[in-house]
Amino acid sequence: MESGTKQQRQQHHFVLVHGACHGAWCWYKVATLLSSAGHRVTALDMAACGASPGRAEEVPSFDEYSRPLLAAVAGLPPDEKAVLVGHSFGGLNLALAMERYPDRVAVAVFVSTGMPSAGKPIAFVFELFLQEQPGDRYMDSEFETSGDPHHPVKTLRFGPQYLKQRLYQLSPPEDLTLAMAMVRPYQPFLDDATMTENVLTAERYGAVRKVCVVAEDDASVPAAFQRRMASWNPGTEVTGLQGADHMVMLSKPMELSELLMETADKYI
C-alpha cells in the first residue's frame, strides 16, 4: 500500500509550451517519454500556431495569443498544481500564466530562453536580446507587415538556413525536415500593453518556483544570456545541458525528460 501511494504521488501533470513559429508538434519526443513514464502531458498550440486555426496577424494581443495556456492553467482541478514548461518565446507565456495563477503552478521550467523578471516588462528580456545580438540574427527569415498602415502588424517566419544553423544544428535531420514543413509566422507583440507594462509582480510571479534549463550549445539564445536573465530571479535553479542546441526537446529529449521528471519530484 505504501509503495503504491508513493508511486501515485509521483505522477505529475506537465504543460508544455512551444516557442516562436513552432507548435505543440515540437514536443512529440518529450511528450511521448513523459507519457510513457505514466505522467499526464498537455502540449499546447498558442493562438494561430501549430494546428490552431487563424493567422498570426489576426491575433489581437499577447493575452489572446496566450489564451490556450491561461485557459489550461485556470481549468486545472482545485487540488492540482501543474509543472509548466516553456521553450524560448514560450517562456514569456509562462510568465503571464504564473502572474495570473501562481497558486496553480508547482514549478515553472524555462528552457532555452531569457527568463522575465518581476518588476520589469515581459518585453524587456526580448528587447535586450535583440539589442545584444548581431544584425543578421534572423538570417533568411521572412518579415511581413500587414493591416492598417498607421498600426501595422509585423510577423516573422523562420527561414530554412536560420532553422538549420541557429536552431537545429545538433538535432536529427528528420526533425529539421519536420520543422521546415511545420513552422508558421508569429507575431512578437512587442508593442502590446501586457508586454510593455510592469505586469509581473514579486508577490505573484516572483513567488513561483523557477528552474532554468540552459542549452549550452544554443546558437540562437547564448547560454550566457540565459544564465544572466535567470540570475535576475532570486532562488532560480539553473541547470545546463551539454550538446543541446536551441531545440533541446529534439536534440536532447531523454536528458530533458529526465530533468523535468526530477524537477517535478523535487518540487511537488
Q: Any idea what the CATH number is for the domain that residue 87 is in?
A: 3.40.50.1820
End-to-end CA distance of the chain: 20
Residue 90 belongs to some domain of the structure? yes
Residue 244 belongs to some domain of the structure? yes
Residue 146 belongs to some domain of the structure? no
pLDDT number for residue 126: 86
* Sequence-ordered strand ranges (E) for the chain: 13-17, 40-44, 82-87, 105-111, 142-146, 153-157, 210-215, 237-241
Residue 5 belongs to some domain of the structure? no
The number of folded domains in the chain is 1
The residues assigned a catalytic role are 88, 218, 246
**How far apart are the C-alpha atoms of 169 and 85, rounded to whole Å?**
22
**How far apart are the C-alpha atoms of 232 and 218, rounded to whole Å?**
20
pLDDT in tens, 114-139: 999 999 999 999 899 989 887 788 99
Per the prediction, the chain carries an average pLDDT of 94
Residue 2 belongs to some domain of the structure? no
Which domain does 221 fall in, by range? 13-135+190-266
Residue 58 belongs to some domain of the structure? yes
Report whether 83 contacts 110 (CB < 8 A): no
**How far apart are the C-alpha atoms of 184 and 262, rounded to whole Å?**
33
Residue 73 belongs to some domain of the structure? yes
The structure's pTM equals 0.95
Report whether 76 contacts 51 (CB < 8 A): no
Of the listed ranges 2-11, 45-54, 139-148, the least confidently predicted one is 2-11
pLDDT in tens, 45-60: 999 999 999 999 999 9
**How far apart are the C-alpha atoms of 106 and 182, rounded to whole Å?**
31
pLDDT number for residue 133: 82
